[in-house]
Amino acid sequence: MNFDYLLVRLGELTLKGRNRGKFESLMLGKIKQALAQYPELTYESAFGRVYIKLNGADGTRVLSRLTDVFGIWTISPVVKTKHDLEDIRKAALAVMDAHRPVPSTFKMSVKRAWKGFPHDSMEMNHLVGAHVLRNSPSLRVDVREPEVELRLDIQHQGVFVYCTVVPGAGGFPLGMNGKAMLLLSGGIDSPVAGWTAMRKGLEIEAVHFHSYPFTSQQATDKVVALAQRLAHYGGRIKLHLVPFTELQTLLAQQKQDHLIITLMRRSMLRIAERLAERSGALALVTGDSLGQVASQTLGSMNVIGRTASLPLLRPLVMMDKLEIIRISERIGTYETSILPYEDCCTLFVPKSPATNPNLRVVEGIEHALGEQLERLVAEAVAGTETVVMTPQGKEEEKRPTAAPEDRWF
């Protein structure tokens, strides 16, 4: 069946009140951006919906791309007809005929938004439903549990006929709720946390701590690949790569094996917070999930979290690992996350990490390190390299070209 339009329904809950206009125009921009590779599409937006005319583009591919755009509730491939009963009947039959698997029951559902149309919903229900039944011998009506619901949406600009409703990603348009800094490791959880944050309308930048040369180049490449995948949803993501080796070595020298992860995480938060402030991010996001490992018990989260003064968002905190894995498969990060390269923290994992670290002891160690700790934190921030990831890969740095008088050759 060649449908000619996609009907996109925007997040309903956010459509009330004064923000509606802003939300709708922001969404239209995001949709156009996601579909930039299809210049033939044309758009029309009305009352929480966007009608996309395909003009020959591959509807299945366009639809699939739209399921990744945040702020979209549902999407339907539709056929548009004139306000003409025979045209509507023809389209209705074609839509039903094209449905797979072939249904044995259906019901009609008519919405007459444009009151200028001569037949009311009840009449249309009958006029079109009877036509479909007459021409489909094995089809019956079942109003309670139909296999297919054949819908007519009568609008001023035409009648839309369809029976498929595909769920969208939901959430808010990206960036509508500000910016946050994601602590991105190479594991399964933090990319999912990043996607969840973006779905809630947060633009993200990512920060990764590496202990090169103790951790390999592949470990960093893996994080770069994860950030690239997140850029599929976010368009463009800055990834800050922080050299963590010296700090980690200093912390390891304190001979407090069971507290090393706690100490490392606190330093990571300090650095992430400085980077966040530099780029105007108002929150930190991590992939912590309650009880998953020693550093994610309530006791550990308490002692670690106290270092941050920005809000610390942990979108996965109440989720089970299986739920997290399911999302990571859906968003396309799982295969990369399970590649076996060492993370900076796994290098130093002690035999028995503290599950309930003592805040005073931890603060005492940091206090004793004094300026040395502060200096290494500042050096790590200063030594941070930033790459910009797009869905296609690293964005080449645009170096300012030197003015002629600056040239020494």
Which residues participate in the annotated binding site? 183-184, 208-209, 265, 287, 296
Find out whether 8 and 80 touch, Cβ atoms under 8 Å.
no
DSSP strand E in 27-71: where? 42-46, 49-53
Asked if 171 interacts with Mg ion (CB under 5 A), we say: no
Using CB under 5 A as the binding rule, the residues of this chain from 58 to 87 that contact Mg ion are none
CB of 189 to ligand ATP, least distance (A): 3
- Shorter beta-carbon distance to ligand ATP: residue 164 or 300: 300
Binding residue for ligand ATP, selected from 51, 70, 160, 209, defined by CB under 6 A: 209
Strands lying side by side in the sheet with 385-390: 312-313, 284-285, 179-183, 203-210, 237-243, 385-390, 393-394
d(CA 211, CA 249): 9
Q: How many residues touch ligand ATP (CB under 6 A)?
A: 20
- Shorter beta-carbon distance to Mg ion: residue 38 or 341: 341
Binding residue for ligand ATP, selected from 220, 286, 297, 300, defined by CB under 6 A: 286
One-letter amino acid for residue 77 of the chain: P
- Shorter beta-carbon distance to ligand ATP: residue 36 or 318: 318
Residues forming the annotated binding site for ATP? Answer: 183-184, 208-209, 265, 287, 296
Q: Where are the alpha helices (DSSP H) in 235-297?
A: 245-252, 260-279
Chain CA centroid to CA 356, Å: 33
CB of 184 to ligand ATP, least distance (A): 5
Query: CA nearest 111: which of 153, 64, 161, 146?
Result: 153
Query: CA nearest 386: which of 218, 248, 243?
Result: 243
DSSP strand E in 47-169: where? 49-53, 72-81, 105-112, 140-141, 148-155, 158-162, 166-167
Binding residue for Mg ion, selected from 173, 187, 243, 315, defined by CB under 5 A: 187
Q: Which stretch binds ligand ATP (CB under 6 A): 62-70, 114-122, 155-163, 203-211?
A: 203-211
- Shorter beta-carbon distance to Mg ion: residue 201 or 315: 315
Asked if 30 interacts with ligand ATP (CB under 6 A), we say: no
> Of these partners, ligand ATP, Mg ion, none, which one is at the site of residue 208 (CB under 5 to 8 Å by kind)?
ligand ATP
Binding residue for ligand ATP, selected from 11, 77, 168, 187, defined by CB under 6 A: 187
H/E element, 5: strand 5-10
Binding residue for ligand ATP, selected from 49, 151, 200, 208, defined by CB under 6 A: 208
- Shorter beta-carbon distance to Mg ion: residue 155 or 185: 185
- Shorter beta-carbon distance to Mg ion: residue 142 or 342: 342
Using CB under 6 A as the binding rule, the residues of this chain from 294 to 313 that contact ligand ATP are 295
> Of these partners, ligand ATP, Mg ion, none, which one is at the site of residue 231 (CB under 5 to 8 Å by kind)?
none
CB of 354 to ligand ATP, least distance (A): 13
Using CB under 6 A as the binding rule, the residues of this chain from 134 to 173 that contact ligand ATP are none
Q: What is the dihedral of CA 72, 73, 78, 84, to 10 degrees?
A: -110
Query: CA nearest 198: which of 218, 172, 228, 217?
Result: 172
DSSP strand E in 211-334: where? 237-243, 284-285, 312-313
Radius of gyration of the chain (CA): 27
Asked if 344 interacts with ligand ATP (CB under 6 A), we say: yes
> Of these partners, Mg ion, ligand ATP, none, which one is at the site of residue 288 (CB under 5 to 8 Å by kind)?
ligand ATP
Q: Which stretch binds ligand ATP (CB under 6 A): 7-15, 53-61, 154-162, 339-347?
A: 339-347
Q: CA of 180: how far to CAs of 34, 103, 192, 193, in Å?
A: 21, 47, 14, 11
Q: Which stretch binds ligand ATP (CB under 6 A): 48-56, 76-84, 139-147, 177-185?
A: 177-185
Query: CA nearest 156: which of 89, 91, 80?
Result: 80
> Of these partners, Mg ion, ligand ATP, none, which one is at the site of residue 344 (CB under 5 to 8 Å by kind)?
ligand ATP
Q: Cis before residue 173, ω within 30 degrees of 0?
A: no
Asked if 292 interacts with ligand ATP (CB under 6 A), we say: yes
Asked if 337 interacts with Mg ion (CB under 5 A), we say: no
**7 DSSP β-pair partners:** 51, 76
H/E element, 386: strand 385-390
Q: Which residues here bind Mg ion, judged by CB under 5 A?
A: 185, 187
Q: Which residues here bind ligand ATP, judged by CB under 6 A?
A: 183-185, 187-190, 207-209, 268, 286-288, 292-293, 295, 343-345
